[in-house]
């Protein structure tokens, strides 16, 4: 027969009765017989209690995940543009702005504002696509990045209002046509 320890209180003071040692300083211990069937039923109750606790924690975690999840913009990806379409649209928009900058006259007063907007767009384009391996390996990305790099270097060296040097302008114009051709081919 197995034994189990029970605590008793006498006159508000807890004492421990054990033949070998004190189990806890303020807990009285008395061995009472417990049958094997009672032990099995206690273990089954404990297992059922742990299972229900697991289920409760799992349900709580699921509820928390559902409540904190962002609302879906499209169902199963249907209706949202692919990465390729987004890249093509963003790059074409950037190249249009570069072409607009190149076509400005030397003394145009809106040149500073156009350059500021172009700088912002170039920085966001580079930040968005530079680390994406599926995008950064494309020929159109490399050519467009070369354009962005040439313009950024010119803006940093000569300022927002200075015109591009002739050789740099020719190179940017050639790379601009190459980038547009590569994008139209899906490369």
CA angle 12, 15, 18 (to 5 degrees): 160
Lowest mean pLDDT among 3-7, 27-31, 35-39, 58-62: 3-7
Q: How far apart are CA 152 and CA 144, in angstroms?
A: 12
77 or 10: which leads in pLDDT: 77
Average pLDDT, the chain: 76
Strands 2-6 and 30-34: antiparallel
CA 103 to each of CA 91, 152, 156: distance values in angstroms, whole numbers, following the listed order:
18, 17, 20
Mean pLDDT within 132-137: 85
Mean pLDDT within 60-76: 63
Q: Which long-range contacts (CB under 8 A, 24 or more apart) does 35-44 make?
A: 35/1, 35/2, 36/1, 36/2, 39/2
The tokens for 90 are 């963003």
Q: How high is the pLDDT of residue 110?
A: 84
Instruction: Report whether 31 contacts 3 (CB < 8 A).
Output: yes
pLDDT single digits (tens) 119-134: 999 999 999 988 888 8
pLDDT(50) > 90: no
Q: How high is the pLDDT of residue 175?
A: 94
Q: How high is the pLDDT of residue 47?
A: 55
The tokens for 7 are 């605590």
Q: How high is the pLDDT of residue 43?
A: 65
pLDDT(67) > 70: no
pLDDT(147) > 50: yes
CA 43 to each of CA 3, 31, 33, 50, 80: distance values in angstroms, whole numbers, following the listed order:
15, 19, 16, 11, 54
Q: How high is the pLDDT of residue 135?
A: 86
pTM, 2 dp: 0.57
pLDDT(99) > 70: yes
Residue 44 banded pLDDT, cuts 50, 70, 90: low
Instruction: Name 101's Cβ contacts closer than 8 Å, sequence gap at least 6.
Output: 114, 115, 118, 151
CA 155 to each of CA 51, 52, 131, 187: distance values in angstroms, whole numbers, following the listed order:
66, 65, 24, 28
Mean pLDDT within 74-97: 81
End-to-end Cα spacing for the chain: 80
Helix (H) or strand (E) holding 6: strand 2-6
Residue with tokens 């206690």: 42
């Amino acid at each position: 027969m197995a034994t189990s320890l029970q605590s008793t209180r006498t006159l508000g003071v807890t004492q421990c009765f054990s033949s070998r040692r004190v189990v806890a300083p303020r807990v009285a211990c008395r061995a009472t017989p417990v049958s094997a069937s009672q032990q099995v039923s206690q273990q089954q109750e404990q297992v059922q209690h742990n299972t229900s606790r697991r289920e409760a924690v799992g349900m709580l975690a699921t509820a928390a995940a559902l409540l904190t999840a962002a609302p879906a913009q499209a169902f199963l990806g249907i209706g949202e543009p692919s990465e390729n379409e987004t890249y093509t649209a963003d790059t074409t928009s950037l190249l249009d702005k570069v072409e607009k900058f190149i076509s400005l006259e030397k003394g145009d007063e809106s040149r500073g504002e156009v350059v500021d907007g172009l700088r912002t767009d170039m920085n966001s384009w580079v930040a968005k696509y530079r680390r994406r391996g599926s995008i950064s390996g494309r020929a159109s990305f490399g050519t467009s990045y070369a354009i962005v790099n040439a313009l950024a270097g010119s803006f940093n060296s000569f300022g927002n209002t200075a015109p591009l040097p002739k050789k740099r302008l020719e190179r940017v114009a050639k790379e601009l046509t190459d980038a547009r051709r590569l994008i139209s081919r899906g490369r």
